[in-house]
Structure 1
Amino acid sequence: MEWDDLLREYLGEFGRFQKFTALLAILVGPTFGMSLVAMTFLAATPEHHCRVLGNSSSVGHRYQAEGYNFSVPLENIGGTWKPSSCLMFKESNSTTTPGNESTACTHGWEYDRTIYQSTIVTEYDLVCSTAWLKGLGQSSFMAGTSIGGVFFGTLSDRFGRRPTTVLCLLLHLALSIGASFTSDYVSFIVLRALDGAAANGLYFTAFVLGTFDSNM
């Protein structure tokens, strides 16, 4: 007797319950995938330049040339001279003539909001000297997935995969929404790490649950 015949004889056919469970397990995959690639959009870096006092471009969607043409130095980027994204001329006593020496942005940055109205980069000014912090959002998420796979895998073995799947789903929903309303970057990366753990736990437990029920 073949192995499949044994399964059908002792466990039954692939019925309505198994199909419904497998379908729900399949729907978990896209949620995990979207969380995995979310930082591509959450951490998008629009064009930016130093904020110049008196320039009101922050209220619009595009740069305004007035106010920074003579306050931001040019940089040769790929053979093209463009306004610097991270430097500005030091302020001088003259109201019309800037200094000759450049310095880091002292009044923050202005961002081109044509495509992205708001990202973590524009919210927390993750540009120039702090641009490296942008990668922590994805790194913390991946670290969370590593821990979540072990933790929730052990939890599902002890308490069952259905309760663990529901728990992970609720945590994933709460943490994803919570990360959208954080007021500081530290809270954001902490919630992203926890969300990574919950999302990976959800994916693995649902996968095992769907595979097991599909063979019943």
Structure 2
Amino acid sequence: AERLSRLRRRMVRCITIFDLEDSGMGMKGLPSVAEFDEPHARDVFQFMQHICAEILGPNYVLNAPWAMVKAYNWFKKFVPEKLSRKLRLLDGDGRSDPEFVEAVGGEAQLKMLLATRMGLTSGQINKPSGIQDIPPGHDFQKSCNVSTGQRVSWSYEVLPGFTDQLLGSSSVEFGVTGYWIGEDPSGRSGSRHPRLLEEIVPKQVV
């Protein structure tokens, strides 16, 4: 945060996002990992519990269990506002929460963050190709970084599901959107263009 603040010549506001999708977390909490838990309790927790309320920035937890969100929203009534306002639990990916969308820089920025998310505990890795199951009403986003002069191509195939013979073929939309961030032509150090969205391939049913 300090480095970015000096670069942008303004105070940079940092937030922390915890995405519990495919984390294995339930009502009993996260799975225990001794290699992490023991050093964290020894080196971090004892120190942070004394200063956390003073220096903690906004924290958002995505895809938290529904019951946990309800319990926290009730419990935070008894917690000092100074601390409770720094932690928000959301039972979805945050796109339906206007305050969170604004905090992360807008819907386009949030979609980019979600598109780069990988489910480490579910065995997913960032490969250029593969097979992806898309549940009804959901979407799948793939993000890649490009530079000036680089050529990007793609191909895809929609495979029938096991219920297509009974309910008819699936309706899937495909589209491509560019999210451009470029240097400010004025030449000011560290300044950049505003984010610009460009619909390269309009959404179409395939």
TM-score by length of 2: 0.21
Higher-RCO chain (CA-CA 8 Å, sequence separation at least 6): 1
Q: By percentage of residues, which structure has more helix?
A: 1
- Larger Rg belongs to: 1
The structure with more strand, counted as a fraction of residues = 2
